[in-house]
Copies of this chain bind each other. A is one copy, B any other.
Amino acid sequence: MPLRILGMSNGADERGRRFQPLRRERLYESLATHISDFIEAQGLTPGDRLPPERELAAELGVSRATLSRALAALETKGRIEVRHGVGALVRDTSLAATTAVALGLEVRERDEVLLAREAILAGLARAAASNGQASLKLALLADDGTPRTFVDTWRCVRRLASSPVLADLDDTLVAASVTPEDTPAMRRHLDELATAILADDPARAALSVTGMLTDTR
């Protein structure tokens, strides 16, 4: 291993270097970050259009080719969608949407996705039953006596569970499936779930999720 630096007083690392190799970021990478920040800063929402390439390139002081690479990277990341003859459109940038695409979930069997989501929901239910504060759990009960819907219930449960990782995974799978219908069977499941969580019973909460998504079809 040839040494490249001469005077080696004190700060050298195990390979005899005093300096880090100065990881150089390529222009298109910085650009991608910059544009992503721009989208954020401007509060652009899905569907909004970025300025035309020529204009954007001039404004950023780079060539169209470089900008194009940056846009390709952003498109690969799912941050934008570039349409020929139209422009670069901001996309839904939630972890859910992007990861679902990355995982190629859209080609998988529907039922399998539902099964996976059930597992995630069971985990959320368990966490909600064991972690949540009693006062927050009351949100599971509807105000006027009518039962909570599927979406409402799980929004509550997710808040109670306070587990970003599980929530993210759930988002991922949501993007690859559809919201279940509000059938009587579903309502029974949701009631059982709410009861179990209010009773601080994690095992029962998790169990109540079984078949919630897969039975109703």
List chain A positions with a Cβ less than 8 A from chain B.
1-6, 24, 26, 28, 65, 68-69, 72-73, 75-77, 84, 92, 95, 98-99, 102-103, 105-106, 108, 112-113, 115-116, 118-120, 122-124, 126-127, 163-166, 168-169, 172-175, 178-179, 202-203, 206-207, 210
Contact = CB atoms under 8 A, between A and B. Distances in A.
A4 B106 contact: yes
By Cβ-Cβ distance, the 10 closest A-B pairs, closest first, are A119-B123, A116-B165, A76-B76, A73-B76, A69-B72, A116-B166, A112-B165, A65-B65, A72-B72, A72-B73
B69 A24 contact: no
Given A116-B165, A203-B210, 14 more contacts: A3-B178, A4-B175, A5-B178, A65-B68, A69-B72, A72-B73, A99-B99, A99-B102, A112-B164, A115-B127, A118-B123, A119-B166, A120-B123, A165-B173
